[in-house]
Structures are given as structure tokens and as C-alpha cells.
Amino acid sequence: MREIVGWIRSIGFAVIFALVLGIFVFQPYKVDGHSMDPTLQDQQRIYVSKLAHTFNYLPNYGDIVVIDSRVDRSRSWKDDVTGHPLVGLLLGTGDDHSMYVKRVIGKPGDVLEFKDNKVYRNGTPLDEPYIKETMDYAADGKITVPANHIFVMGDNRNHSTDSREIGFIPVDHVMGTMIENPFSAK
């Protein structure tokens, strides 16, 4: 009996450790769709550092981030817990399609403009060698990224649902920043 209790305790600690690690530090995500082509492919597994979310700091320009696209609602710690894959599996909410993988284009205070098939940030056209094709999008006027928000876009600009449609992303909706695959052979 003592051995069974020991096994149960060990498994319990392992599950708690996996939950804490996945909620606050590191989590895998799967790319769903083609909005990040050619950088990331549909169904590709990526690994995300959640430290930016845990400590609420801004990602850098050009970072690939996972965002909660439900920008019209506030997030709480409960969302972080139920968003973990293990918890989602237990609750039956594992196929949540509200998480998007996008690239950071603008940070608070940036003035963005879309003209001449390019993105301009603070009056300067962005050099974007990662995009799939010339962007077929223009908008009248300039937009300013508000405090505590970012502006994100997919690399496949002509086939991406991003900040152009869903709006500015609150910093607390940035789930994490993609890191290089630690398990790939170099």
C-alpha cells in the first residue's frame, strides 16, 4: 500500500509541475492555417516562452507571438489555467481556435500606415523579407497603437486575420513569444 501511495504522490507532483510549467513558463502550440506562410506551415508545432505573459512585458518588433484573439473581453488567471492543454483535455475545451500565431508590427505609441503595398511604422517603410507576397492592402490615414496594446500581422498578409480586422491586441492577450525549437537537430 505504501508503494501505491508513493506512486500516486509522484504522479500528482508531476502533473502539478507540468501545469505550472505550461501555465507560466513554456508551452507548445500548433499552427492552424496558412496566415504565417512561408515562415510557419499549417499544423507545425511551435514552442512558446510564456514569460512575457507571466511578467506582462512587451514582445519585440518582429517577434512571432501567440495571441488570444478575443480582444473584446478581459482575461483572467482562470483563462490561463483553462487554456493549458491538459486542463482543456479534462474540461473538453481542447480545440480552442481563439489563439492566433502572428508577428509583432507595432508597439504602444507607434504610428502605422498602409500604403504603396507596404507597412510604414513611424514614417519608415518596414523591411519585411519574411512576407509571402506583396501585400494587397491599403488604408486611409494613420493609426496609433494605444498604450498597453500591440499591432500584429500574419506573414501571409493577403490571407491573414490579424489586427487589421480584430483590432489592437491588449498586452495581457499575448500568451507568449515563439522560441527556436529546442528539440530540432541543427
**For cell 508551452, what's the residue?**
27
Neighbours of 150 (CB within 10 A): 26
Which positions ≥6 away from 3 have C-beta within 8 Å? none
User: What's the CA gap between 32 and 97, in Å, rounded?
Assistant: 8
163 is catalytic: no
Q: Which of 49, 50, 98, 102 is catalytic?
A: 102
User: What's the CA gap between 176 and 66, in Å, rounded?
Assistant: 6
Is residue 111 classed as helix, strand or coil in its secondary structure?
strand
115 is catalytic: no
For the annotated catalytic residues, the residue numbers are 35, 102
